[in-house]
Amino acid sequence: MFAMQYSHRLPAQHDLDAIRQRAAAKGPQWDAWPGLACKAFVLQEKGRHGAEGHLYASVYLWHEPAAAADFLAGEAFQGVIDGFGRPPVETWLPLDARRGPAFDRPARALYREELPLPGRGAAALRDGALAAGEALLGREDVLAVWLVADLQHWRLLRFSVSAGALELRADSVGYEVLYLARPGLERLP
């Protein structure tokens, strides 16, 4: 598995309806993308839910790392570059990924939470990831949860997709989900 995110900061006067329309138009193209578990088209709107500015991002969970490489070298990502410029792409090693009880419901929010590592080394990394993932799977609004290792900064990141409305959470960065493509999400345990 492989996970990644890239984001585009948008000017305050940017037409967010145009971003919503873009996600609605482009999202279905990802519904059968080979090697992909899910792609979330997400938005932060300045002044809402703690957002300091407008931000448009794509968050991916891939079953096949080679499919991610093909995407980044292909025409679809070139379209991103042509439209928004070349973004830095954050990449991570997934340690755990699971479906939640709301798996079949529409996605409304995505949360990204930084988790400190409880110790040093690979064992602490794995144990921390598994313990953190269990906590969210009991929530009835959760569609999916995945935990990734950010080995550049020695931390864990937990992503959770929710059927609930976006809310301000002190421990997470929240995004409005504009579209969730989930061609391989059913393969998660």
In tens, the pLDDT along 127-167 reads 766 776 777 787 899 999 999 999 888 888 999 999 999 99
Q: Is the pLDDT of residue 41 over 80?
A: yes
Q: What is the mean pLDDT of residues 89-117?
A: 94
Would you list the DSSP string of 131-162?
Answer: HHHHHHHT-TTEEEEEEEEETTTTEEEEEEEE
Percent of the chain's residues with pLDDT above 70: 95
**Which phi-psi region, left, alpha or beta, contains residue 47 (left: φ > 0; alpha: ψ -120 to 50)?**
left
**CA 176, CA 66: separation in Å to the nearest integer?**
28
Domains along the chain? 2-187 (3.30.70.100)
Parallel, antiparallel or unpaired: strands 89-99 and 36-44:
unpaired
Q: Is the pLDDT of residue 47 over 80?
A: yes
pLDDT at 76: 96
pLDDT at 109: 99
pLDDT at 27: 98
Q: What is the mean pLDDT of residues 36-63?
A: 95
Q: In 3-state terms, what secondary structure has residue 126?
A: helix
pLDDT at 22: 95
pLDDT at 138: 76
pLDDT at 125: 67
Beta carbons within 10 angstroms of residue 144's beta carbon: 26
Candidate ranges 41-45, 116-120, 167-171; pick with highest mean pLDDT = 41-45
Beta carbons within 10 angstroms of residue 148's beta carbon: 26
pLDDT at 83: 92
pLDDT at 122: 64
What are the tens digits of pLDDT across the range 4-34? 999 999 999 999 999 999 999 999 999 999 9
Provide the whole-model pTM. 0.93
